[in-house]
Chains A and B, each alone.
Chain A
Amino acid sequence: MQVNKMQVLYNPFTYIAGIKSLLISIVVVACTAWLCFITGTHNYGLVNINFASDTIFAVYFLEHFIHWITAALILFCFGILFSKSSIRMIDVFGTQGIARSPLIILPVVRLIPAFKSFPVNSPNMYVLFVLHVAMVVWCVALMFHGYKISCNVKAPRLIGSFIAGLFLSEIVARMFIYFLLTL
């Protein structure tokens, strides 16, 4: 079988799912959280980021873990509601975890001293902003393909349920993270 390398970048789930994807997801979330911890990069949900080295590793890990679990759980519920296939929880959690891979790039870039600390409204800040937007778009595209393959929801419900799941997970994850930060 010929593997399309470009397809792997935006839809690797044709080839990876199940326990393999779940193990990769755990590694991805742990590595991203570790890099966020050493560079002081907070992810409050998917869109909102903040730069501050102000807490322990567990908080950075939980920020990523909560959003991953919330998004996967909500999309899995939507899959049960809208899909005619017999879907597996392990596929949904595995694909949604791998979909978070692009989020590792921003903290990696922040390892470069020029991006570690910088004045507000500096060119470096805008470079990070553009990079963050691009990585979020890539992440959402991967999440969409992960949902499409693991849940097999068909149009017209596919796009609507995905957008609803994405918004809902963003709200619920932020609520959990806010609760975590107030502890």
Chain B
Amino acid sequence: MEKKLPLKCPSCNESLRVVKLHCEKCETEVNGQYELPALAKLDLKDQQIIIEFVKASGSLKVMAQQMGYSYPTVRNILDEIIEKIK
């Protein structure tokens, strides 16, 4: 089963932060307060859209063809992601 990165606190719904990083090889652990990167804060569906956008070399037209949606539909999806990143 693929584990899903939790973005919101299951208790109070606030955004979660990284406080611990772990090296599987040498068992080193790093503790601190780290902000998640902007793209990592998006849900998996939005991250997949970003990947498709990059794969299509940033062309909404190509992306729309690949996804089977109309151009304005894809543009609107991306605009929503832009709003989330802002």
Q: Which residues from chain A sit less than 8 Å from chain B, CB to CB?
A: 1, 3, 13-18, 21, 84-88, 91, 149-150, 152
Contact = CB atoms under 8 A, between A and B. Distances in A.
B72 interface: yes
Contact of B71 (A1, A3, A17): A17
Interface residues of B, number: 10
A159 B75 CA distance: 20
A86 to B, nearest CB: 8
B68 to A, nearest CB: 4
Interface in B55-86: 67-73, 75-76, 79
A91 B67 contact: no
A84 B79 contact: yes
Contacts of B73: 13-15, 17, 149
Given A15-B73, A91-B70, A150-B72, 8 more contacts: A14-B69, A17-B70, A85-B75, A85-B76, A86-B75, A91-B72, A149-B72, A152-B79
10 contacts: A1-B67, A3-B68, A14-B69, A15-B69, A85-B79, A91-B70, A91-B72, A152-B75, A152-B76, A152-B79
Contacts of B69: 1, 14-15
Contacts of A152: 72, 75-76, 79
A15 B70 contact: yes
